[in-house]
Amino acid sequence: MSAEIYNFECQDINHQAKSLADFKDKVLLIVNTASNCGFTPQYEGLQKMYENYHSKGLEVLGFPCDQFLHQEPGSESDINQFCQTNYGVTFPMFSKIDVNGSDTHPLYSYLKKQAPGLFNSQAIKWNFTKFLVDKDGKVVKRYATRTKPEAIEADIAKLLA
């Protein structure tokens, strides 16, 4: 089954083209991230979830974004080093993108249309907004910044079953 999400191509953290079709038949948790944010410790929960569920079909995809109070000011190399050194991140990280405004990455335009936020808003309010995508490529839920990765675990387990 072909889903629209698999048509997107993104640059990974090392500036290599990566098709989301590479993640077909996986459950995806797509997150806009930042290194200097009050929610940055969520990297720990995201990594733990990745370790616990990756072998069962989960992919966590991190998309750094510097649109919220300049909380992701570094280069991709800086971001990658920060994530690995401080949180042992091994899940796929991508190049910095915009999630709002005229330069919104096409993937995020799609995600926001498929799973609007509170009051049907499409804007991403802050770092660490999360989108859950099922094995068929359907965006099933959007989670607010404050929702910790652990709180999403039951939804992920259900999609992996």
Mean pLDDT by 10 residues, the chain (161 residues): 82 96 97 93 96 97 96 93 96 97 96 85 91 96 95 96 92
> 56: which 2 tokens?
């069962």
83 domain residue, yes or no: yes
25 domain residue, yes or no: no
Q: How far is the CA of 16 from the CAs of 95, 115, 142, in angstroms? A: 9, 28, 27
CATH code where residue 101 lies: 3.40.30.10
33 domain residue, yes or no: no
Domain that includes residue 59, residue range:
4-19+40-160
Percent of the chain with pLDDT over 70: 99
92 domain residue, yes or no: yes
The count of domains in the chain is 1
3-state SS, residue 62: strand
Please state, in angstroms and rounded to a whole number, the distance separating the CA atoms of residues 33 and 39.
Answer: 9
Query: Is residue 5 within 8 Å of 139, Cβ to Cβ?
Result: yes
Catalytic residues: 37
Q: DSSP character for 104?
A: B
Please state, in angstroms and rounded to a whole number, the distance separating the CA atoms of residues 12 and 31.
Answer: 14
Residue 29's nearest CA partner among 101, 146, 127, 135 is: 135
pLDDT digits (tens, 9 = 90+) for 43-67: 999 999 999 999 999 999 999 999 9
